[in-house]
Amino acid sequence: MRQHDTLFIGGEWVTPAGTGTIDVISPHTEEVVGRVPDGTAEDMERAVAAAREAFDHGPWPRMTFAERAAVIGRLAAIYESRQSEMAALITEEMGSPITFSNLAQAPQPLSMLQFYAGYGATFEQEEQRPGLFGPVTVRREPVGVVAAVVPWNVPQFVSMTKIAPALLAGCTIVLKPAPETPLDSYLLAEMVLEAGIPAGVLNIVPAGREAGEHLVSHAGVDKVAFTGSTAAGRRIAAICGEQLKRVSLELGGKSAAIVLDDADLPSSMGMLAIASLMNNGQACVAQTRILASRNRYDEVVEAVANMVTSQPVGDPGDPATGIGPLVAKRQQERVEGYIRAGMDEGAKVVVGGLDRPYDRGWYVAPTVFAGVSNDMRIAREEIFGPVLAVIPYEDEADAVRIANDSDYGLAGTVWTADTDHGMDVARQVRTGTYGVNCYMLEANTPFGGYKASGIGRELGPEGLNGYLEYKTIARLG
């Protein structure tokens, strides 16, 4: 078992203020695989004080962008050397299939570090513009102390969408990992020490909701960067609004995959399996609404059902596994509640249902519903599990209408033999990210959503902007 007795604050491993602990439980075995301190409000006070000291008086914000980029590059090199270890650790703590951990859980955070290291090498802090009475300097400065609050589903991915650009900007950070997945953050702290990032620039305090709210509302925090549920995002936005504190929110999704009549189903299903079932369905960008025309509806339902049943369900540490367990018993029960709701509303279970694949572990049967209308709960609410709803449409305009008929606007896809036409469809769907015959995220492009899917963008140059304040200096002569 992985045992940690300290917190990472001010560049040191320090004794926590309280005696509470967080047990990390394997979703596969239901056994305790790790234990860390349960951070308190007092621990958050110490972490914010360390970040505040490092920002107000330390060297990090006063270095050039190129100097900080070089340090981020060192961190990236260390991360690369340990990415297999990171992938295995995330699989152990939250049940992500090892193939997905090796594909995304560790490599994508690495790509973010690499992008910002390269982008920052030539980034200019000041820009000169002509003014009416003389030159004007536009200066970019770090926003200050950042509270990064992250969920459990892709813990390093969401952490790094905040840490990498914040570091390049010159901010200092307090990271609050989710109680379900704190172990990977300890490995990250080891890398930060090895890379020589100054004390207090990154502080890590695993904790629950109460200590997390203390961090968010702390007067010493200049910006909150949050990824999680829309309900929690609304609460955080209200706190930040009262304090006029900067905030970025990456929230939920209920993304639609539009299957056009010219799509080649056999070739589409391989990529759609990744897009819809990634990380056991525990992904905010998962394509869980699959829209099929009435002309090919039965054919698409059959193809989707075959795609789902072809994914082996089992031990997430086995490279042959396609779908592993959900992160916690409460999540298992929540997803089963949605399956029951779909049945109660009249949708037809094509594969899956309420019979659990295993007696031990927090598994649910991957489920496909047919006969779904877009007003059903399983079509409107984020389930966060391997549950897909196949919804019929009349024509392409109707498909776009259904895709847009959602409180969310995070992601989406279209599947077609004509990629140019697919681009036309993509331009009509109101989401922050989209794919034609695929779904992927790139470190150099913005990620975020419309509507209830959040506020702001992460990744790419746009992600850096969220950690900068812009100052205009006009002068005569």
CA 356 to chain centre: 27
Catalogue the long-range contacts made by 432-439 (C-beta closer than 8 Å, 24 or more residues apart): 432/457, 433/285, 435/275, 435/411, 437/268, 437/271, 437/413, 438/271, 438/275, 438/413, 439/271, 439/274, 439/275, 439/285, 439/287, 439/411, 439/413
| Closest alpha carbon to 201 in 70, 63, 9 | 9
Tokens for 6, please give them.
């300290």
Q: Is 284 a catalytic residue?
A: yes
Q: Is 250 a catalytic residue?
A: yes
Q: Which residues contact 123 (CB under 8 A, 6 or more apart)?
A: 65, 66, 69, 168, 464
Contact 355, 332 (CB under 8 A): no
Round to whole Å and give the CA distance between 136 and 424. Answer: 41
One of 92, 93, 250, 458 is an active-site residue; which one?
Answer: 250
Say which amino acid occupies 240.
C
Round to whole Å and give the CA distance between 150 and 213. Answer: 13
Round to whole Å and give the CA distance between 89 and 307. Answer: 28
Distances (CA, A) of 464 to 297, 400, 408: 43, 32, 24
Q: Which residues contact 238 (CB under 8 A, 6 or more apart)?
A: none
Q: In what order do the strands lie in the sheet with 2-3?
A: 2-3, 32-37, 21-25
The percent helix, strand, coil of the chain (3-state, each to 5) is: 40, 20, 35
Q: Which residues contact 333 (CB under 8 A, 6 or more apart)?
A: none
One of 171, 180, 213, 284 is an active-site residue; which one?
Answer: 284
Residue environment code for 378-404, b if the CB has 16+ CB neighbours within 10 A, otherwise e:
bbeebbbbbbbbbbbbeebeebbebbb
Residue 219 burial (10 A CB sphere; 0-12, 13-18, 19+): exposed
| Closest alpha carbon to 100 in 289, 320, 385, 366 | 320
Residues carrying an active site annotation? 250, 284
